[in-house]
Structure 1
Amino acid sequence: MTSATERCGSETETSASLPLEFEAFFLTNQLRMLKYAVSSGLDRSTAEEAVSDAFVALYTRWDHVLTLTNPVAYLYATVRHSVIDHFRRQRREQLLRARTEETAESEPIEEPDHSRIELLQLIDRLPLRQREIVTLLVAGLDYQEIADMLAIKLSTVRVHLHAARRRLAALLAE
């Protein structure tokens, strides 16, 4: 995966310009975000690109991120949006290739997983706390890790997940 240093400039240039807090945040969360992007349906190289894009976007708003109570949840949301953007970009590229193909015998275009994209968009419609918990669960954290990360009780995690599942079921029924 591209490191924060590679994405933001050369080693000597960024060692003085990247805040140490950002470097530490990047190193701490890079692998988890990559796993999350891959679990969302992207291939590894595209997932690496999506995560790199998310970290670059996060870096441009780093002063704001430092004021948040949960910057990791903000990072998850940024990666989720980056993943959705990559699905959209892939779809546009596929449509463009299909239009420019001259032969009718070209290989069929592989459709992106629209249900996964729709689910990510529905998760975005959840209240903030439910969205954070669902995102962390999808990323592979267990209930106790989520409780520890968000500084809430384990039972609160369960209550929010139950409410999120009910809300998602209602949104799917619309």
Structure 2
Amino acid sequence: MHFAQFFEATYSKAMAYLVASTRLPPHAAEEVAADTYLALYHRWREAGAPAKPIAYLYTALRHAAMKRHAHQQRERPTSLADFPDIYDARQRHQLDQVETSQALLEMLSRLPARQRQLMSLRYLMDLPTDRIAELTGLTRSAVRAHLSNARHTLQQIWHEREAETG
């Protein structure tokens, strides 16, 4: 497989993985993805394709995201209220969708890293349990158990959130 084909086949899912599992904002995820793909391209050109290019890509993405988090010093807005100019009655529906997405991302961020990673691979990247087990080095039963625990935890978080908001 040529690198260009690999890039086209993996980029959108890699972006979804970065945003969901690393808590990077989309613009930062794009930068991490660009840097990672560039490094992978150079490696691909010099040494050939890795034996497991998808596993190699996700390992490199995870490491680059952790490095980005370690060096990130800027403060992010904490809510949509920090952007009053976008809060318009005509855009309420879109805003509700964004708030729901933010709530879901916040809920996912409360999961342990392993569960967050597996939820991203399963539900954002739509990978089957067998493939997730192969990529992560876990057994299929361990993947299923982690996913079950994550779904249970998310359900508890959702109920707590509903109780708080009334």
Q: TM-score, normalised by structure 2?
A: 0.51
Aligned to 2:17: 36
Residue 138 of structure 1 deviates from its aligned partner by 2.7
Aligned residue identity for 1:145: P
Distance in 2, Cα, partners of 1:149 & 1:138:
10
Aligned to 1:145: 128
In the alignment of these two chains, the number of paired residues is: 113
Distance in 1, Cα, partners of 2:65 & 2:12:
15
Aligned residue identity for 1:88: A
Change over 3 Å in CA distance of 1:158–1:57 after alignment to 2: same
> What is the root-mean-square deviation of aligned Cα atoms in Å?
3.9
Change over 3 Å in CA distance of 1:67–1:135 after alignment to 2: same
Unmatched 5+ stretches in structure 1: 1-19, 95-108, 124-132, 166-174
Distance in 1, Cα, partners of 2:140 & 2:116:
9
Which has the higher mean CA deviation after the structures are superposed, 22-31 or 39-48? 39-48
Contact 2:19–2:26 (CA<8 Å) still a contact in 1? yes
Aligned residue identity for 1:30: Y
Distance in 1, Cα, partners of 2:47 & 2:118:
21
Which of the residues 14, 19, 35 maps onto 1:53? 35
Indicate the SS of the match to 2:23. Answer: coil
Unmatched 5+ stretches in structure 2: 77-105, 149-166
Distance in 1, Cα, partners of 2:65 & 2:141:
27
What are the residue-to-residue correspondences of 1:44-123 with 2, within 5 Å? 44-62=26-44, 64=47, 66-68=49-51, 70-91=52-73, 94=74, 109=75
Contact 2:118–2:143 (CA<8 Å) still a contact in 1? no
Residue 54 of structure 1 deviates from its aligned partner by 0.8
Change over 3 Å in CA distance of 1:157–1:137 after alignment to 2: farther
Q: TM-score, normalised by structure 1?
A: 0.49
Task: Report whether the alignment pairs 1:159 with 2:159.
Answer: no
Indicate the SS of the match to 1:61. Answer: helix
Residue 33 of structure 1 deviates from its aligned partner by 0.6
Residue 59 of structure 1 deviates from its aligned partner by 1.1
